[in-house]
Amino acid sequence: MIFSKTLNRWYSINKRELPWRQTKNPYSIWLSEIILQQTQVKQGLPYYEAFLVNFPTVFDLARAEEQDVLKLWQGLGYYSRARNIHLTAKYIVNQYDGVFPNNYTALLKLKGVGDYTASAIASICFNEPKAVVDGNVYRVLSRYFGVETPINSSKGIKEFKTLAQELIDHENPADYNQAIMEFGAVQCKPQNPDCSVCPFNTTCFAFNKNQIQQLPVKIKAEKAKKKYFNFLVIISKEEQTILKKREGKGIWQNLYQFPLIETSKSMNQDEFHSILKNHDVLKGLNYELSLYNETAIIHKLSHQHLYTKFWIVTTHASLTEGITFLEIHKYPVPLLIENFIKDFNF
């Protein structure tokens, strides 16, 4: 009881003014919660504003083309979130006449909505006492109570969920949930928190045992694998190029890119030239090849590092599947491609 009281007092004084705190509209809250998954407020904020401007209601989002939703999501990463909000918007319109379900269990059935997001929407919009457990909550609870179970183990996930649920303020779950997350983000930060001004510093386990750096405990991730990407930037006489949609599984699903040839090592001009001879996209084409970036661009994802070279393929032929330079900007592309497009000045 003391815990939630102290937390709520801290929150009322220190909370940031954020646009999704001005509303209880389930559509807005849902949108903000999906955007904020794995994403910091600073990065997600402009996307939240843009989505509400472009798609003010769930009906507008449901009517959109997936490509336009992905375009608006471009740069934010984890693109399944964008595909899922589009799917779910259509589902809400068709199955619920555009009205969001009003409880945890029904919310959990939505694509892209897991335990965290269902708890967030249910508590914030409908005052259902379901405790949210996001990265901030793991950190706050593990430090304050000295819980050493790894937060990314099955045991840890259950343990922290149970603990969080025991602590929730049943009088005001909406503010309590937001308070503990905001406290984790602003005060009980991952690195170098200023514990001297923390309202919990007399009773916090980690602070008093000098364990702030050690908590929370987390199982280490595998090292990122190296991959070697070669993009064919085809430039035709008629100012056209070729973009391909990424199909199937893997990264950047349904986004576009220049024709890609993945190799087992970094290629030089001669090596790549011989590989190119029997490639589909250039079949029967007369072209000249030049390397745009001598040193590979390293694009870092959490689980793979992409060593990337852009190869300029100039041709006098006309392209049957070509798009004009002006049209490039309508296609959703990964940041790696977007950065090249800007640099190349199409």
Partner DNA sequence: AATCCGGGGCT
Partner DNA sequence: AGCCCAGGATT
- Note the residues at the interface with DNA (CB under 7 A): 37-40, 42-43, 75-80, 84, 111-118, 133-136, 138-139, 153-155, 184, 190-191, 216, 218, 220-223, 249-253, 298-305, 334-336
Provide φ and ψ at 317, rounded to 5°: -70, 160
CB of 255 to DNA, least distance (A): 8
CB of 93 to DNA, least distance (A): 18
Return the number of the residue (290 or 293) whose C-beta is nearest DNA: 293
128 is catalytic: no
Asked if residue 259 has a cis previous peptide bond (ω within 30° of 0), the answer is no
Distance from C-alpha of 246 to C-alpha of 256, rounded to nearest angstrom: 6
Residue pair 34/81 in contact by the 8 Å Cβ criterion: yes
CB of 125 to DNA, least distance (A): 15
Catalytic residue, candidates 33, 65, 222, 247: 33
Both tokens of residue 225? 């694998």
CB of 33 to DNA, least distance (A): 7
Contacts of 174 (CB under 8 A, 6+ apart): 24, 123, 124, 125, 127
Return the number of the residue (184 or 235) whose C-beta is nearest DNA: 184
Residue pair 88/47 in contact by the 8 Å Cβ criterion: no
Distance from C-alpha of 106 to C-alpha of 122, rounded to nearest angstrom: 10
Return the number of the residue (63 or 111) whose C-beta is nearest DNA: 111
Return the number of the residue (68 or 287) whose C-beta is nearest DNA: 68
* Among the listed residues 47, 53, 49, 48, the one whose alpha carbon sits nearest the alpha carbon of residue 74: 47
Distance from C-alpha of 64 to C-alpha of 235, rounded to nearest angstrom: 31
Q: What is the set of active-site residues? A: 33
